[in-house]
Every structure is written in structure tokens, then in C-alpha cells.
Chains A and B, each alone.
Chain A
Amino acid sequence: MIRPLLFLVCFVAGLWQLGSAAWLLAKAQLAQLLIVSAWEEQLQGGAPQKPWPWADTWPVAKLKLEGQSPLIVLAGGSGQALAFGPGLLSGSGSPGENRTTVIAAHRDTHFAGLDRVRRGTSIYLQDKYGRWHTYRVSEMRIVDSESERLPVFAERGLLLVTCYPFNALAAGGPLRYLVYAEYQSGGELVRL
């Protein structure tokens, strides 16, 4: 009697874990679809559009890493925003502004491909007016978030932040992987 019960418990618990992992991944991917349409609308209309009525964030930019599919960047670096897409940290500059733009995302969802980025890789960022800005990766660095602060400075530049190591099991470690990209050009209306 105890054995089928135990089996059932394990099986259900396994399903639950698998389900919640799948939910996290699905949320990350599916939300992007909704956000894409909100972004398109926003580019047409100009006013910030929330992807769904109860969202506490809104799209602010579109990010494309060379050789990877584009991602819509949301406002803020809160956990809620990062669950759905990369977040543009408040306090950092918007694309093209004379201030470092800082975008963070989860290492196991949207920025899972960040470890493939190398020096010289191009990164494209579309601002809210539809203009594309080009950046070129110049530096990758691992930092300890406990003893260092985010390097935000008064110059155009893009800083991508995700957790490090990429394949660590537990979340919440102190290390961060930084990719810094220098500003190349911008302002043209390019369709990628």
C-alpha cells in the first residue's frame, strides 16, 4: 500500500518540478511574443504600451545579439520584469544617450546565449523611436557583485549583465558576467 502511494507522490512531485521549470521557460518565451506586439504598437503610436493590462513594466528597447534572435527589453531590473525579458536598469542610460546603458537578464532564459558572445561581436539596440544603434563588444569580465558596483558612466556604451557561472545549479550567487560593448554608430532607421 505504501509503495504505490510513495510512487504517486514522487511522480506528482516530479511532474510539479518539471512543470514549474517548464513554466519559467515558457513564461520567458511566451511573454516575449506578447511584448513584441506591444513594442510594435509602441513604435507606431509612440506612447508606452503595457504588454498585458496588469503588467508592471513596459518595453523600452529591442536588443539583437549577432547570430541570435532579437529580444525585447523591458523597463527595470526587478524580478518581475526579468521573468519576462531582459530589463533595462533604472538609473542607466537609454540607448544612444550619453550614459552607459545597462541591460540585465537571467542566465538560464534570455541571456543563455551570452556566453557565446566574443570580442568584436556586434550588438544592435533599437530605441523607442525605432532607431537602431550599433555596439561592438570590447570586453568581457566576471565581477563579484558583493564588492563592486555597476560601472555606469557618462558615455554611450552598452553593458549586458547576467549571472555567472552559466551552468551553476543554485540561483542567487554573487558573481556576475559583464559584457561591455562600445558605441559604434546609430541614428539610422535600419530594418534588420
Chain B
Amino acid sequence: MDRRDAAWYVDRVAQGLIFAGGISAIVFIVGIFVFVTKEGLGFVFGPLQPGEFLTSIAWRPTSNNPTYGALALIVGTASVTGFAMLFSVPLSLGAALFIAEFARGKTREILKVLVEMLAAIPSVVWGFVGMSIMNPLIIRIFDVPVGLTVLNAGLILGLMAAPIMTTIAEDALKAVPDSYREAAEALGATRWEVVVKVVIPASRNGLLAAVLLGVGRGFGETMAVLMASGHAINLPTSPFDSVRALTATIAAELGDAPVGSDHYGSLFTLGILLFVVTFVVNLTADLVVRGVGKK
């Protein structure tokens, strides 16, 4: 009876393939990290002056006397992402609340599909919207000379981050058992009271994770930000200033930087910075979802 039949071999092979698939995520992330660090570390421990990198806004890698001040790029990314979250978080959480708690039947199904479609729009198309629709609109409405600004890139980025935040926040709300809602309503709570006093507290971790993933999305976005932000090295003092993002800088300059040069290394240093920030944000989101640090 103890024969290794076809089912046994299929089971073995399937297990092997699934294991390879599962482990590949780790292989790739470690591989990317090793590659980015390898290319950047030579610069970090060589010509890089940490003081200049973090406090100067002079990013002149191709000048005869090159300087590598990344402050404006860091602030650019932070301001665009921050502005995006400012308007995207309420929008997304509101949308998730509506879909999960108030919409019924067809409305809800249609909304879910539309939100998911929003996530599928390529970022270059968003950039296009930023350049050719938002740009003239901002110039006209606010009577400013340039429309490719923190405001423009922030709005575009906010719209781009909204679908993922909405979907994850909705999942978190849906994970709250209906029995809680029924129990609270049976106590005489209105729908709104149920949402505020029971559902949101119960799904707090998931909602926070949704926001963090949105932030991670914002930090990493490149093309749309490159197109909509104006791509000008500048410390912004208002939403109507153009800025330049870390990601956009890498995308725009890497093709022109000779492999192995200081310029090349400096761009990889920006990459390490981005990698570390998004990694920390995503890891935090993940830990929050799992409820680490919960009392």
C-alpha cells in the first residue's frame, strides 16, 4: 500500500513551487536592498558630506564644483506627500466609511469597482492630468504665475493614494463583526453612533495602517510628481511653490549619470534614503495591523 503514487509526487512538486513563490518575495527585497546599497555605499563612505547632504539645498551634481545638498529634495517629497495626505486621508476614510457602513446593494458594488479602477490608472496619466488640466486651472483660479506646484502634485498624489487607502480602510471596517453593530443598534444607538463609538474604535489599527500605506505610496510615487510638481529645487514656503522630489530627481538624472561616478553614487544614496523611509513606513503599517503594542 505504501506506494508513492502520482498524487504524492504532485503534492511534493506543488509544495516546492509554492515555497519558491513565497520565498521569492524575500529574495527580491533583499536583492534590491543589496543592489541599491552596494551602488550607493561607495558614495556614502566616500565623497558624501553628511552635513551638506542633509542641510544644504544646493543639488548641483553636474557642476564643475559639484555639491550634493538634498535638503530641498527631502522637503519637496515631504511637503508633497504631507499635502496629499492632508486632503486624501479624510477623503479616503470618508469613502471607506460610506462604502462599508452606509451604502447598500448596487451603490456599494459600483463604488467599490470605481475605486479599484481609480487604482489602475497609470501614474503617467495622472501626471498628464496634473500638467494639462490642473496646471492651467490653478493658474486661473489662484492667479499665480506657475501651476506646477506643491498644491498640484499634492492633489494628484492624494487622488492616487486614495484608492489604496480606501480599499484597506474598508477591509478594516468590514472586519468588524456585524454582531457588534447589531448589539449596539439593539441598545438604541443610531447608525452614526454605532460607527463612531463601536466600529471605528474596533478597527482603529486597520485604519491607521491604511493611512500609513497611503503615505508609503506617496513617498514612492515618481512620474506623476515629476510632472506635476514643477521639478524645481526650492524650499517651499507656500503650496504655490514648485518643488522637486527625491524620486523625480532619480528618474530624471540617472540616465545621464555615468555609471560609477559621484553623481551616480549620490542618486543611489537618495535611493537608500527612500528605501529606508518606505520600508519603515510599511513595516510600521504592518506591525500596526498585527496589533503590536496593543495593550
- A and B assemble together: no
